[in-house]
Amino acid sequence: MAKLVLIRHGQSEWNALNLFNGWIDTKLSDKGIDQAKQAGALLKEEGLVFDQAYTSVLTRAITTLHYALEEAGQLYVPEEKSWRLNERHYGALQGQNKAEAAEKWGDDQVHIWRRSYDVLPPLLENYEETVEVQGKTYPAFDARYADVPFGELPLGENLKVTLERVLPFYEAKIKKDLEEGKNVVIAAHGNSLRALAKHLEKISDDDILNLEIANGQPIVYDLADDLSIKSKKTLGA
Ligand SMILES: O=C(O)[C@H](O)COP(=O)(O)O
């Protein structure tokens, strides 16, 4: 029986500043690094041994995976990165303060953008390699996406669109590993993991509004041979 573990990255610099992060490549804060190491300690305590790891192409998820696996004594585990596991693209909201956005557009509208299944955020107008926020430059659409066919990269996503681009990767890679009985760990993001959890747990479009995934708390699914969920627990919650 395979185990699947989902880890949302530790707190990022922009989580700490309460900014919409999305596809902007920000780093872990010091607290985020501690959370990632703590996640690894919890995996070790649980006796989990992995055959394969997956992560996004965003630094905060990649470094979370590495800190966690190192802490668990499993930095050797093969890993694959894909843009399909990236955070949902937050469109023109990226770089904006979440509280200020709520003052500007109202709490309800911002909650709908953040948690609804199928309402799109305001879209970006074009692809820029970098963005400047509060006097600092951050990577956005850079060379890491060079191989992605034009038109596949988003300018803003809701959870539905996020799930539509996560699923082909899940089906082609992760599901195959699980069917072979491999234990898999995925270090990714609040909304790419909400999308995947929606699919795995068959959560309805309405109920997915209430699913929150905390930074650095591994979610462990124990799967049956047909990949139905035998049990789910969240470590460190
Ligand atoms: O992209 C972000 O800002 C966060 O990682 C997730 O944000 P949310 O909780 O507002 O969806």
Amino acid found at 77:
V
Residue 229, beta-bridge partner list: 223
Q: Which atom of ligand 1 is nearest to the CA of 87?
A: 1
User: What's the pLDDT at 150?
Assistant: 82
**Burial class for 26, CB neighbours closer than 10 Å (0-12, 13-18, 19+):** buried
User: What's the pLDDT at 114?
Assistant: 96
What is the spatial distance between Cα 108 and Cα 99, in angstroms, rounded to a whole number? 12
Q: Is 11 known as a binding-site position? A: yes
**ipTM (interface predicted TM):** 0.96
User: What's the pLDDT at 60?
Assistant: 98
Residues taking part in catalysis: 9, 87
User: What's the pLDDT at 94?
Assistant: 98
Q: Is 144 known as a binding-site position? A: no
User: What's the pLDDT at 184?
Assistant: 98
Residue ranges of domains in the chain, CATH in brackets: 3-234 (3.40.50.1240)
Listed residue (59, 61, 66) closest to 26, CA to CA: 59
User: What's the pLDDT at 151?
Assistant: 85
Other CB atoms within a 10 A radius of the CB of residue 230 amount to 11
Listed residue (175, 30, 222) closest to 232, CA to CA: 222
Low-confidence spans in the chain with pLDDT less than 50: none
User: What's the pLDDT at 148?
Assistant: 95
The owner of tokens 């006097």 is 135
CA of 110 to the centre of ligand 1 (A): 11
* Global model pTM greater than 0.95: yes
Q: Is 100 known as a binding-site position? A: no
Q: Are 14 and 190 in contact (CB under 8 A)?
A: no
Ligand 1 site residues (CB inside 6 A) read 20-22, 87, 90, 114, 189-191
CA of 72 to the centre of ligand 1 (A): 27
Listed residue (234, 208, 174) closest to 7, CA to CA: 234
pLDDT digits (tens, 9 = 90+) for 104-134: 999 999 999 999 999 999 999 999 999 999 9
